[in-house]
Amino acid sequence: MQKQGRISVRGIVQGVGFRPFVYAKAIELGIFGRVKNLGSEVEIIARGDRFEDFVAAVSRGPLMARIDSVEVTDFSGIVPEGFFIEKSATGSFSGMIPPDIAICSECVNDIFTPGGRYEGYWATSCVNCGPRYSIIGAIPYDRERTSMDKFPMCEPCAGEYGDPHSRRHHAQTIACHACGPQLRLIDKTGADLPCADPIREAAALLDKGRILAIRGIGGFHLACTEESSGELKKRLGRVEQPFAVMTRPGYAEEIANISKAEHELLESPVHPIVVLEKRDHASHEGISNLHTIGCMLPYTGLHHLLFSHLKHPLLIMTSANMPGYPMITDTETALVKLAKDADYFLVHNRAIANRVDDSVIRDGYILRLSRGIAPKRTAIDLGDKCILGVGPELNANATIYKGGFAITSPHVGNVRNPATLAYLQETIEKLSRLLGAEYDIVAHDLHPQFLSTRYAKEIAEEKGIGLVPVQHHRAHIAATTTGPCVGIAIDGVGYGDDGTVWGGEVFAGQVPDLARVAHLEPVPMPGGDLATKFPERMLYGILPSDACLDLLGRRGWTEVELGVIKKQVATGFNVTMTSSTGRVLDAAAALLGICRERTYDGEPAMKLEATAVGGTPEAWEPVITASGGCDVLSTRAILSTALSRYTAASAGDKKAVRDIAASVQYNLARGIAALAIRAAEREGIKTVVLSGGVVANRAIRETIRNEVTDAGLSFFINDAYPPGDGCVSFGQCVWAGMLFKQRA
């Protein structure tokens, strides 16, 4: 039986209280020795009769740790009497810092314990909770390499920090009223408001209908009560876009139907925004005019204290940045950019080292990968090369693969503007430093004009390394599985092999050999991107008929406008061809008069889904033809039937509109599933996988699932990554890694 040795622990062992955990177990089991951080791993020298029990305990680790390996080797040196936590040293970069963790219930209790050291302190945390990624500058994870470095511990905090029996033993974020970050309530000029308690005064202002910019863990939120939501939408110019809300604990159940799994998510260490179905679909329309509402619970001490003073049960809590742009993190920028949006600013003086937006989850699927989930670390064997995936253009993030692990950054945004591109570059540089990454390959989207593609080429040229273009939808499938499959990718846009816009694709094979075997019918987008802003253009692109022209004419299109679009589609001038699923849903929303102008990303499809809830779908026979060696589903046939049903319905017949909306979704999904089933039978493949932003649509997703499984095939969606474009950078790394493994 071994009684002494060196234990090397690798994985996510920084920022999770691993050293205090080891110390506590050593004392409990009578072990002598020491523990220290070495880069992103932990080294333990240990001696004692219960050495093997100690190794077993260390191998389990604390709650937030993710252990990859535990290696025990002989150690013949001197082991000190007692057990010590030693000063960190540089070493390997095999692990990663965990995401930011919501405040734990024990710290919440500390905040509301009368007379306690932490009573009323907004930044209370312990070894089990609080900011991590948002404050880290370098590893090993110690206070001097975080944003807490500017706040030397007071004597009582230092005492708890050094106390092995304290929950804050070696908690790098420990702080209190006396020594920690402080809050200020300021006006638009940056001047302090005279008040003894900034949080109490902020709550009073919110109750009076004021709009506040609140500096949180990873950036600024704009906050207001429900009564002020219309004013906030007006100021932001987002009259139709739904807001997320933060609710008092227990109140979300009053406004939404919450399953057991959703309840667990809301209260998990992630504390994400969870998209829930409203109890009354017509309620809270000032917040969301959909049948759903995004809810989250307070996840910091600041939030809990705010609600303790607030009379209202919920707050609008929306990211204080233009959609697709980086979050605002510093007070000076916020005062300039939010001057027209916010009346007052509740700010703190702890630096935000890394932006982190709120994560969003619906039906167990991640819609936005960020706070509490990312950086996301996935074990996967992609060979021995270090790979960077720079992501797509919309809803982008980045992934770095090194040494058997892929690390995906939090959500970055839409990399079609210089500010977000700069944020992507900043994110990649910081992750690279934390991981010690030296790339051998850069993977990027196939689209030659994307700013992310140009950035990838610049990196490859500068470093003299390989460059791998990856078609957008194949990256979606690669992020879902590396095994043999029929892969369905349904989303808005993606540059195809033929230079057209893809978005309703079926592939067969195995990464990196996925052949396109079926797709939605290519249809014209009159005016290109203009057809995404004005979905009625997309409608006519799919249905270039007199009946469609008559409909548009009744809606106010002039003869000149009708003549222009008719000629445009007939001649193909300024027309892009697309097989996009999203564009079909846009056209259906336009047909039914649900959304005639898109004001935010995904609006037509989201409103179509909301309208379809409660509708009774009618089964229409899918029309499938062959073209270019592929099966092709006719979306014209689906929308033509929808148009005839709509024309036959009585004016103002809301039930007919609901039924037609439900029928379009149902038959589109059935047709897509039929393409996949035919491909699976033809190719002799038993597994069908699904990815793409349209997966968020419950009716479409579940119809495809049911059709596929009823055909006796297995069905899979990767719920560890977003089905939308938040998985693409990971898929790019997977594709590039498998490609080079194949060539080896």
- Specify the residue for token string 């270019």: 628
Element spanning 688, H or E: strand 687-691
Burial of 494 (0-12, 13-18, 19+ CB in 10 A): buried
pLDDT, residue 92, reads 62
SS3 372: coil
pLDDT, residue 91, reads 65
Give the distance from CA 194 to its chain's centroid. Answer: 39
Buried b / exposed e over 693-732, threshold 16 CB at 10 Å, is: bbbbbbbbbebbbebbeebebebbbbebbbbbbbbbbbbb
pLDDT, residue 11, reads 85
Q: Which residues of the chain fall short of a pLDDT of 50?
A: none
Is the C-alpha dihedral spanning 220, 225, 229, 230 positive or negative? negative
What are the C-alpha distances in Å from 629 to residues 324, 516, 676? 38, 9, 15
Report how far residue 433's alpha carbon sits from residue 97's, in angstroms, rounded to the nearest whole number: 12
Report how far residue 47's alpha carbon sits from residue 3's, in angstroms, rounded to the nearest whole number: 6
Q: How many helices (H) and strands (E) does the chain have?
A: 23, 32
- Global pTM reads 0.94
